[in-house]
Structures are given as C-alpha cells and as structure tokens.
Amino acid sequence: MAELSGKYSSLAEAVSAQLGERARLLNRPDLGLGYEVEPADLLDCCRVLRDSEGLAFDMLMDLCGVDYLNYGQDEWETSSATNTGFSRGVSGGRSGEGAIEDSHQSVRRFAVVYHLLSITHNQRLRLKVFCDDEQRPMLDSVIDIWASADWFEREAFDLYGIVFRGHPDLRRLLTDYGFIGHPFRKDFPLIGNVEMRYDAEKGRVVYEPVSIEPRTLVPKTIRDDNRYKPDLKDG
C-alpha cells in the first residue's frame, strides 16, 4: 500500500474515524483518495459522508458504472510491454501502477463509482461499490441523499444494466425505448442487436434484427513500419 501524501492523510483519518471497517482504502493514490464499501453499507456510509461535519461531502459530482469482465486477464505478446496502461499483462502484470485495485474483481463483475465533493473543505473522494449479482446487478439508489444522482443512475442503468433500487423514474436516458441490451457492457456486440429504419407504408420507425454480418475485429500491431526504413525512402 502506497503511503498517502499530506494532502490526503488528514482526510483519510477523518473517513476512517467515521466509517471504520466498513470502508476499505483503495490502493490507487494516483487517482486520489478512494474507498470501497459493501452494497449493504452503501446508504449508511453515504449519509455519514454527507452529514459528518468533518467530511461534509454534500455534492455528488458524478456516478459511473464499470464492467470488469476479463479486466487485466489478457496478455499481450510484445517485446517491450510494461505492466502499466494498455501494455500491461505480460507475465505477471498485476503489480505496479496498472494493478487492479480490487482483489474481488474476478468474481464480481459490475461496480459503481461515486465521485464526491466537499465544498466546505475543498476535498474530493471516490467511493466504489461492487454489485453482488452479475446476472442482475443491483444497488440502492442514493437519490434521497444526493438529488443529482437522478440522471447519473439512469445513465448507468441504460449503459450497463445496473438497477438502482428505490429510484423513482429508472428509464433509459441515452438510448431509445426500443433498444435491446446495454451498450457499455464488455460482451455487447459491436453491431448491436437491432437496427431501425423508417417504414413508409407503416408511416413510422420500425425495429428489425441487424442485417450486418458479425465480424471479429483483431487489433493490428505494427512491428516494423516500412515507411521509416532508410533504404525505402524516396530520393
């Protein structure tokens, strides 16, 4: 575990004092101070973070879904790969800056990340919660704690299929009502499931199965770029 700088140490002490063992510190200081809590503790922890005088995280800046399907499991056969960024994963690439910050990700696929702001103390905090059920990911809605969660939760539902229990109007936000599936899931087909067109006879838009042939797209790695070989340059 990397040591926290003075910028975060006092905030970490305040969070630990209020949440105790319910919050687990995430090992990514380069992303700011972050904690993971269990789904059952989500609402209580959020209320403490908002109402505690020493924390006062009164604003939810963002809420986003995450799909950890196969995350960090692919290996790249390159001679110069490191264990960070997109080149991670070559022979034990789970250490260093590119390491997965949660040890449970292999069995828990979907997560929601809350980005909080304390205007009073000018502090930011990242809160992560994993969904227990991969087949029907569900978490409690925090809309009664932060009203700004309304459209954020609708977006995560639309794109990832994460259901927020207690949300008063959980409808799709970015895709249309005839859309099938959740497009930000890692296993969502690139060609989609349905296509739409205007039917002149019916006088309306109709949905049909996609007519595009499915393709497997393989990233192309250029080992030697002939354009830069001296003997092939013009003149």
Rounded to whole angstroms, how far apart are CA atoms 207 and 82?
45
204 forms beta bridges with: 199
Please tell me the predicted confidence (pLDDT) of residue 43: 97
Average pLDDT for the chain: 82
pTM as predicted: 0.75
CB-CB neighbours of 111 under 10 Å = 22
Q: Which residue did the predictor score with more confidence, 17 or 28? A: 17
Dihedral in degrees, nearest 10, Cα atoms 173, 165, 47, 56:
-10
5-19, 62-76, 142-156, 174-188: least confidently modelled range: 62-76
| 25 has a pLDDT exceeding 60 | yes
23-27, 103-107, 179-183: least confidently modelled range: 103-107
197 forms beta bridges with: 206
What is the topology classification, in CATH, of domain 6-69+109-175? Beta Polymerase; domain 2 (3.30.460)
